[in-house]
Amino acid sequence: MKLSVTFTLLAAVIPFALAQSPEWGQCGGIGWTGATTCVAGTVCTVQNAYYSQCLPGSASSAPATTPSSPSGPTSTAPPAPSGTGLNALAKVAGKLYFGTATDNGELSDTAYTAILDNNKEFGQITPANSMKWDATEPTRGTFTFSGGDQIANLAKTNGQLLRGHNCVWYNQLPSWVSNGQFTTADLTTVIQNHCSTLVSHYKGQVYSWDVVNEPFNDDGTWRQDVFYNTLGTSYVSIALKAARAADPNAKLYINDYNIEQSGAKATAMLNLVKQLIADGVPIDGVGFQCHFIVGEVPGTFQTVLEQFTALGLEVAITELDIRTTTPASQSALAQQQKDYQTVVQACMNVEKCVGVTVWDFTDKYSWVPSTFSGQGAACPWDQNLVKKPAYNGIVAALTS
């Protein structure tokens, strides 16, 4: 009885089409324009609103599905076939994406792009630099989008979601902003014009924007930058409102690091988003960067995620990497596998954690060695684009 109900439900939501998707292929979901029927021996199964997949079996033996459950049928998902890919597994598990940062200079490396472009591995990309203020408005009122466009076009070609990064941040600012002697009215206009022009340019292409990046110091006090020093905390709502007006469908995030553990900085972020919600300022999500150290993943991470989703927000892991002293020892790589599993599992356990983005997938292009002296080996693929134990840690969490 249950099985026939399942079949009826599936049949009702799957229109017929000529082309058929292969086993494990996508066969439906919001925005999907490809085949909506599956090859023989597989059945199109709704995993979430964004993703239906051809799973092995026939209609009469298909696993029961929960079409509207955002967390997905994790307990009925089939075991992961090897080589399935992180994004494919994340979607089966009910997440929106598994993604990676990338950068324009890396796109001529064909061995690298062969992995980057595989949307079974990565269903979302973030430009690591080319949408930042110094890249997009190097002189006042003059916008350059060529670098950002290259990444946005790549996302479109690859069928990947795009995260915009970022509108307002104290770092990588052109000097006309960081050294500008602005009145409050003038800086308000500068922020509005920057966020509005940037977000408008990518309207309809961006899933979520990091509208404000890293507003807090590690002790939970506000970072003293040109924005805060001139406008106080109001710069946050000025930027969010400009972004919302520019692309009403983009999810608007505030993104930061060291908010992954309970403490002053996480509390400051919680208080900020509570205030924004109370004031009616548009805010949809909080991004947890998750630049971690092997063996030091905070034990309170999932609890903190839940504190934010309890406010009605979505959350995402936006810049995950887990660094160690280089050269990495075998034991460090084994611990790193466990750490990647722990972090991704926390997102899996929180329904409104929409996805995980690694801050580039290979040690070949990681930002870590140039930023943290003597540290590196932070990514799930090594310098030679070979998967590390960390990859298996991610797979273990996605298939748990």
- Strands laid side by side in the 51-56 sheet: 26-28, 51-56, 42-48
CB of 214 to ligand XIL, least distance (A): 6
Q: Which residues of 68-87 are buried (b: 16+ CB within 10 A; e: fewer)?
A: eebbbbeeebeebeeebbbb
CB of 348 to ligand XIL, least distance (A): 23
361 binds ligand XIL (CB under 6 A): no
Instruction: Give dist(CA 281, CA 283) in Å, integer.
Output: 6
Is 214 among the catalytic positions? yes
Nearer CB in complex with ligand XIL: 128/242: 128
Compute the CA torsion angle 192, 196, 197, 199 (nearest 10 deg).
140
Nearer CB in complex with ligand XIL: 24/365: 365
CB of 255 to ligand XIL, least distance (A): 6
CB of 178 to ligand XIL, least distance (A): 15
37 binds ligand XIL (CB under 6 A): no
367 binds ligand XIL (CB under 6 A): yes
CB of 106 to ligand XIL, least distance (A): 10
Chain residues 281-300 in contact with ligand XIL, contact rule CB under 6 A: 289
Whether 316 contacts 253, CB under 8 Å? yes
Say how many residues touch ligand XIL, by CB under 6 A.
6
Nearer CB in complex with ligand XIL: 247/321: 321
Of positions 21, 48, 188, 213, contacts ligand XIL by CB under 6 A: 213
Q: 392 Cβ partners below 8 Å, 6+ apart? A: 337
Instruction: Give dist(CA 296, CA 270) in Å, integer.
Output: 23
Nearer CB in complex with ligand XIL: 128/315: 128
Determine which one of 121, 137, 314, 319 is catalytic. 319
CB of 370 to ligand XIL, least distance (A): 7
Of positions 284, 314, 319, 363, contacts ligand XIL by CB under 6 A: 319
Nearest in space to 9 (alpha carbons), one of 38, 55, 43: 43
130 binds ligand XIL (CB under 6 A): no
Q: Count Cβ atoms within 10 A of the Cβ of residue 152 and give its class: 0-12 exposed, 13-18 middle, 19 or more buried.
A: buried
CB of 360 to ligand XIL, least distance (A): 7
Of positions 65, 104, 129, 307, contacts ligand XIL by CB under 6 A: 129
Instruction: Give dist(CA 264, CA 149) in Å, integer.
Output: 38
Of positions 46, 54, 93, 128, contacts ligand XIL by CB under 6 A: 128
Main-chain phi, psi angles of 253, to 5 degrees: -120, 155
Q: By Cβ distance, which residue is nearest to ligand XIL?
A: 367
Determine which one of 214, 296, 306, 314 is catalytic. 214
Type of residue numbered 195: C
Cis peptide before 248 (omega within 30 of 0): no
Is 314 among the catalytic positions? no
Nearer CB in complex with ligand XIL: 167/353: 167
Long-range contacts of 59-62 (CB under 8 A, 24+ apart): 59/7, 59/10, 59/11, 60/3, 60/4, 60/7, 61/3, 62/3, 62/6, 62/7, 62/10
357 binds ligand XIL (CB under 6 A): no
Nearer CB in complex with ligand XIL: 80/154: 154
Nearer CB in complex with ligand XIL: 42/289: 289
Nearer CB in complex with ligand XIL: 38/226: 226
Instruction: Give dist(CA 291, CA 16) in Å, integer.
Output: 45
CB of 291 to ligand XIL, least distance (A): 6
Residues within the interface to ligand XIL (CB under 6 A): 128-129, 213, 289, 319, 367
Give catalytic residue positions. 214, 319
